[in-house]
Structures are given as structure tokens and as C-alpha cells.
Amino acid sequence: MKTNKPISVKQTLQNNGVSRRSFMKFCAATASMMALPPGAAKLIAAALEKITRPSVIWLSFQECTGCIESLTRSHSPSIEGLIFDVISLDYQHTLQAAAGESAENARRAAMAENKGEYLLVVDGSIPLKNGGVYSTIAGMSNLEMLKETAKDAAALLCVGSCSAFGGLPNANPNPTGAVAVSDIIKDKPIINVPGCPPIPSVIAGVIVQYLTFGLPELDHLNRPMAFYGQSIHDRCYRRPFYERGQFAESFDDEGARKGWCLYKVGCKGPTTYNACATTKWNNGTSFPIEAGHGCIGCSEPNFWDNGGFYNPLSQTPITDKTNLGVAVAAGVATGVGATLLAKTKQNKTKTPSSNDGENL
């Protein structure tokens, strides 16, 4: 898993039998993932030729392993798979062969060798109640391990809604006092890649984006704009039906069969920022709305507690008490898109919940 000699990313790929044309395919697909113009593939190639394999330490806390499943169960060999050749993954307790003391030693060794330079990836929330006893690794609470490992990291990448916003463990009544990484770590750059789970190529894309161009442009929730800059509703192929006021009223009516807008059956697309509508899932096959189900808003904070997946946004108690839901409902009535309003609210709306945890 580990390398001591600095080898460029391109050299690593070539050593793994990746030809120049394969490398071009890799860079083209990466540019595509990063929502960059296709011509940017050359910039990515040039950047990857220069940089050396960065050390990555991946900590999994209070989580369901769905995020790492999302990344590793994607089509293989794949761009996402190649990420594991591009980076030096020095610690990931689900994937690594080492266990127990030797695993923890590998983490500490990687931290010492790459002090101040390694990327720390976190999935899962951090439970704080009762001294953090609800999730421990090698006798350490998640809080202790996060603080110890984040201390010398260059940046933190929070994969999944749990590490980004608290996620499911943070849902009411939050019995373990789960909080997000950003509630604990205040002195390091944090990139949030939320989703339950995030799209695998988005996880990979953000990693490559960080490696090639440094810290990406982030929105107010620390999400990379390249992937989370537009709402599902903005990019939804069913959007024209919304504009025309054509809605499915239930999942078995004529509107549903005709593929009309799913707003009235609970779609959270207008207030959800993610790349599902273009990148899609299962190797670009489709995404929930294409399969006939509304977006559940899994890349937004507190999505579990936002009033039920099948209630329209107009009936949803918005946690920040803005009039967004009402405005979207007005959009439904008049055929006027509420997206513009949602966009203006994007800078002010929900903040990651931290009030359920104990004081740090």
C-alpha cells in the first residue's frame, strides 16, 4: 500500500500497464467528472505528470460502509478504480490487509512520513455522547482518532452526508450525539462530498480535482461547486413538465406513467444540490427521478428530518424557517421556477447541525 520513493502519478499508471491512450481516456473521463470542458483533459494530464502519489489516510467512523461500497463497487477497472493507483492509500480499515496494532502503526507511520502533506478522508459521523463510547477503533474514540490524525493533515475530505453533516446518526433524536467533522475540526481546509452515498465518480473526481488543481471552489456548505453547483431540479430532464405545470399526483396515475414532474409526490430536487441528473448512477444508467422516484435530498444537511420523502416541499418544514418551501409551492401553482429563489437561498439556507452533540 505504501511507497517510499516519490513516483509521479503518470509513472505509476504506466507501471500498471496504462498506456498513453489509456491515460488520455482517464484524463478525458476525469475532466468530464469534474464538469470541465473536454479540452481541460490536457491540463489534467500535465498536472498528473508532475505530481507524486500523495498519501491518503481514510478514517471510517460512525457509518454504514455504504460510501466505500459506492466507490469500490463501481464498474471496474474504472476511473474510480484507478484512483487507488493514483493515490497511496496508507490506511483504510475496511480495505487494508493489516489489522490491529500493525494497522494503527501503518496510520501513524504514514502520518509521520507525510507530515503536513497527507489528505485525510473521513466517512461517518463522530459520536460525542458519553465520552464517545458508541464508536471506537483500537480502543480510541472516534473523536480522539480524528483529532490526532487531522492535526498534521493538509486537508480533510468528508465523504458522505454523515461526515459532512452528521447524516443518519445525527437524525432526531440523535442518541449517540453524532456530529459532523466540521463541528470538531476548525483549523484545516474541509471539502464536503455529501450524499447517501455520494456518486462514486464524484468522490473520485473531487480527489483528482484536489490533486491536480488544489482546493476546489466550494459553496457555503463546503461542497465543490463543480459537482454541487447546480440543483437536481436545474438539470432534471423532467424540468419542462414542471414549467408547464404537469405533475404526477401519485405514483400510479397518468402523470407518473407519462414521466411528468415528481414535485407533488415529494421530490426534493429544487432544494438539493448534486450531480445525479447529469452524472447519474450505476455507470451512467439513470438516477432516481429517471426511475420514477423523487429525489430524497440526500446531499443536503438533515435530509432525514426534513418532513418525509413523500411530502411535497410546500408541506415540508424547512429547518431554517425561510419561506423557501412556500415559494416553491407558488412556483408549482404558477409554473414559475422556484430554482432561482432556491439559488439565492443556497447561500443562506441550512447549516450543518451541531447542536445535538455535547460541547467539545
Partner 1 sequence: MSNINIPIVEIFDSTLDIKSTALTFTPSLNVEPILHEIQYAVIKLLKSKQSSIIDLNAMPFAPGEKEKIRQELGNGEVEILLNAMGKSLLFETDYPGVWWIEHYNDEEQVTGTYIEIAHIPEIIQAVDEEISAGLQRLTQTLNDRSESYENE
Output the CA angle 216-222-225, nearest 5 degrees.
50
**Cell 496510520 belongs to residue:** 107
Min dist CB 296 to partner 1, Å, is 19
Among 347, 120, 123, 340, CA closest to 222: 347
Q: Which is nearer to partner 1, 294 or 357 (CB)?
A: 294
151 near partner 1, rule: CB under 8 A: no
Q: Which is nearer to partner 1, 49 or 117 (CB)?
A: 49
Q: What minimum distance in Å lies between the beta carbon of 344 and partner 1?
A: 22
Handedness of CA 179, 183, 188, 193 (dihedral sign): positive
Are the C-beta atoms of 114 and 122 separated by less than 8 Å?
no
Please name the amino acid found at residue 135.
S
C-beta of 189 vs 259, nearer to partner 1: 259
Q: By C-beta, is 115 or 257 nearer to partner 1?
A: 257
Residue number with CB closer to partner 1 (169 or 205): 205
Report, in Å, the least distance between residue 259 CB and partner 1: 6
Q: Is 59 helix (H, G, I), strand (E, B) or coil?
A: strand
CB of 23 to partner 1, least distance (A): 9
Site for partner 1 in 55-114 (CB under 8 A): 75-79
Select from 194, 175, 196, 195 the least CA-distant residue to 357.
Answer: 175
Nearest to 265 by CA among 240, 286, 242: 242
CA 297 – CA 231 distance, rounded (Å): 10
* 39 in contact with partner 1 (CB under 8 A): yes
Tell me how far, at minimum, the Cβ of 309 lies from partner 1, in Å: 22
Single out the residue of 208, 206, 184 nearest to residue 195, CA to CA. Answer: 206
Q: Which position among 114, 192, 231, 279 is part of the footprint of partner 1 (CB under 8 A)?
A: 279
Q: Would you say 260 or 309 has its CB closer to partner 1? A: 260
Which of 3, 19, 172, 323 lies at the binding interface for partner 1 (CB under 8 A)?
19
Nearer to partner 1, 76 or 347 (CB): 76
Closest by Cα among 119, 140, 134, 148 to 179: 134
According to the binding rule CB under 8 A, does residue 26 interact with partner 1?
yes
State how far the Cα of 350 lies from the Cα of 331, in Å rounded to an integer.
21
Q: Is 25 in the site for partner 1 (CB under 8 A)?
A: yes
Q: Report how far residue 268's alpha carbon sits from residue 310's, in angstroms, rounded to the nearest whole number.
A: 9
Q: Residues 108, 220, 258, 348: which binds partner 1 (CB under 8 A)?
A: 258
Q: Which of 9, 10, 29, 185 binds partner 1 (CB under 8 A)?
A: 29
- The residue among 232, 227, 339, 229 whose CA lies nearest residue 289 is 232
Does residue 124 contact residue 60 with C-beta atoms inside 8 Å?
yes
Task: Tell me, residue by residue from 211 to 240, as one string, x for binding to partner 1 by CB under 8 A and - for no binding.
Answer: ------------------------xxxx-x
Asked if 278 touches partner 1 (CB under 8 A), the answer is yes
Contact footprint for partner 1 (CB under 8 A):
18-22, 24-26, 28-29, 31-32, 35, 37-39, 75-79, 235-238, 240, 257-259, 277-279, 283-284, 290
